[in-house]
A and B are shown apart, each in its own frame.
Chain A
Amino acid sequence: QLQLQESGPGLVKPSETLSLTCTVSGDSITSRSSYWGWIRQPPGKGLEWIGSFIYSGSTYYNPSLQSRVRISVDTSKNQFSLSLSSVTAADTAVYYCARQYNWNYFDLWGQGTMVTVSS
């Protein structure tokens, strides 16, 4: 059974880098048919796509975040990570990792992790 679990610091200082990890079980992130992504949700607000990748191919980012975001992969641990630099209070949100079907909809989500940007 596929499961995704986010982990990382719950508090990040302004101007620093937010780093989160998604651990995948039940599927390999290197699979040629598996796409993966990050989505976030500020408190009381809607969903925002951050970025997606397929291990054997491309990585895409939301243009509004592209200059600050990076997704990386650790195949030995079956994990992928999100790095968001120069954070501000506007980056305070619940961050979700998810499996994406063929660059399309997100069919399985992690439970999410809350990250607060504050000094």
Chain B
Amino acid sequence: EIVMTQSPATLSLSPGEIATLSCRASQSVSSNLAWYQQKPGQAPRLLIYRASTRATGIPARFSGSGSETEFTLTISSLQSEDFAVYYCHQYNNWPRGTFGQGTKVEMK
């Protein structure tokens, strides 16, 4: 099983700041990685797929980068609605994908 490790567990930032979230795979997943946002009491929402492609309707302040084992989700200027938990998800060994444990972006 491919293990996905996200860091940090919690990120404390203020609105307007840049958020940088990391996701590391235990082996190469090529560019087969997605990012999801989850707010309390809600289902996850797809933000990014194929490591860097924004899903439909996702604002341009969200960007993804990386390949193989190292990936980054960047939120260029945090808005109040961006405070949430973010998960990475590898689907390289489809369909048996695995998720990271999540990074919580909280307001400082």
Contact = CB atoms under 8 A, between A and B. Distances in A.
Interface of A: 35, 37, 45-49, 52, 60, 62-63, 96, 98, 100-112
Given A109-B44, A110-B43, A111-B43, A49 B96 contact: yes
Interface residues of B, number: 23
A52 B94 CA distance: 10
B97 interface: yes
B33 to A, nearest CB: 9
Main secondary structure on B side of the interface with A: loop
A77 to B, nearest CB: 22
Nearest to B32: A104
A113 B9 CA distance: 25
Nearest to B6: A46
A48 B89 CA distance: 10
Interface in B74-106: 87, 89, 91, 94-102
Contacts of A102: 94
Contact of B95 (A46, A98, A103, A109): A103
B49 A104 contact: yes
